[in-house]
Structure 1
Amino acid sequence: MSVTTPVAEPLFRPQDAVPMSTDPATVKPWAEAEAVLRGAPKVWLSTVRPGGRPHAAPVMFAWAGGAICVASRPGSRKGRNLAADGRCVITVSGDTLDLVVEGDAGRVTDPAGQREIIAAIQEKYGWPLTMRDGSVHDDGLPGGPEYGCYRITPVRAFGYGPDGLTATRWRFG
């Protein structure tokens, strides 16, 4: 699975834009946003609790299969939230763009997909997750706890320039 190239457009219309830019020349390509994501050491993942309240936590992530991927224990708050409702938001601040990526997270259960995510996480962080009995585990921790791998498919994203006056919206799908 890979992220499709989204439609990029100014976030604000001329009637909205005081003082935000509506100049199409300030629209950033998705490749620039993807570079910020790939280079970030961590992102903030916001999920939805069963009662509708938000939950946010910093998470390690990797780019695998053309998408943002995270690993989380199924019993953690974010793991339980994603199991019940995959809608989520990833936020990250970069030197050239601050990003908000709205998406849908799905648990990856096929062994090939899990191995791809494990390899990407290990390459980025040196985190030695392993496969055992069709599940992902951290055998370096007592009890070798299980982790779920999630792939986040963007729905829409917003990028804000460092000048505070430029913004881009990307629509996927």
Structure 2
Amino acid sequence: MTEGRIDPRYGDASATAPAWDDIARLLTDAQLYWIVTVRADGRPHAVPLVGVWHDGAFAFCTGADEQKQRNLDADLHVAVTTGNTGAGGWDAGRDVVVEGTAVRVTDPDDLQELADAWFEKYGDDWHFAVRGDEFVELSHSGGGTEGGARVYRVAADKAIAFGGDHGQTTYRF
């Protein structure tokens, strides 16, 4: 089990750190995430995307010609964020940043398991089939796509939770 450490510079050291299971549930239930990749020249690139928190890691997909993919070709380090502070303010919400290294998923069985997880979470809005070593979109908002999508998993090296009565809590893996 992963234990969080409250940073006393940014939170109440006497508070109880959120249980990792609560943070993992937030990551699982989120509908939208933001991913930050690094361009070849070192500039950050941030975009919203859908994904799944599955078996303790974040999974996402990207087309071969997308900026994310070009960035991953140069640097596999990423940060993924999600949360709900905007809706309820600092005291009511909780936001999470997961830092890690993206690893391409190419095994057909692993890809099928992730495609099933996407379908279970998003239904027909994001319905994928496995073709070779990538996803092919069966439906998205009423349409499909000809090209495939490469799938990546990001296991957390570090996660930081913000908000609530704890302030800032760091989890290391």
Structure 1 residues 38-76: Cα deviation after superposition (integer angstroms, max 9, x where no partner): 111111111111111000000100122331111111210
Instruction: Call closer, same or farther: CA 1:96–1:142 in 2, change over 3 Å.
Output: closer
Aligned to 1:117: 114
Number of residue-to-residue matches in the alignment: 161
Q: In the alignment, is residue 10 of structure 1 matched against residue 11 of structure 2?
A: no
Structure 1, 78-87 or 46-55: larger mean CA deviation: 78-87
CA drift of 1:96 comes to 4.0
Q: Secondary structure at the match of 1:167?
A: strand
Kept after mapping to 2: 8 A contact 1:64/1:116: no
Structure 1 residues 110-167: Cα deviation after superposition (integer angstroms, max 9, x where no partner): 111111111111221122211223432125556621101110110111111235x622
Matches within 5 A, 1:1-173: 5-12=1-8, 16=9, 20-23=11-14, 25-94=15-84, 96-126=93-123, 127-140=126-139, 144-163=146-165, 166-172=167-173
Instruction: Call closer, same or farther: CA 1:10–1:112 in 2, change over 3 Å.
Output: same
C-alpha RMSD of the superposition: 1.9
Q: Partner letter of residue 167 of structure 1?
A: Q
Q: Secondary structure at the match of 1:32?
A: helix
TM-score (norm 1): 0.84
Q: Secondary structure at the match of 1:138?
A: strand
Unmatched runs of 5 consecutive residues or more in structure 1: none
Separation (CA, whole Å) in 2 of partners of 1:133 and 1:93:
33
Kept after mapping to 1: 8 A contact 2:28/2:54: no
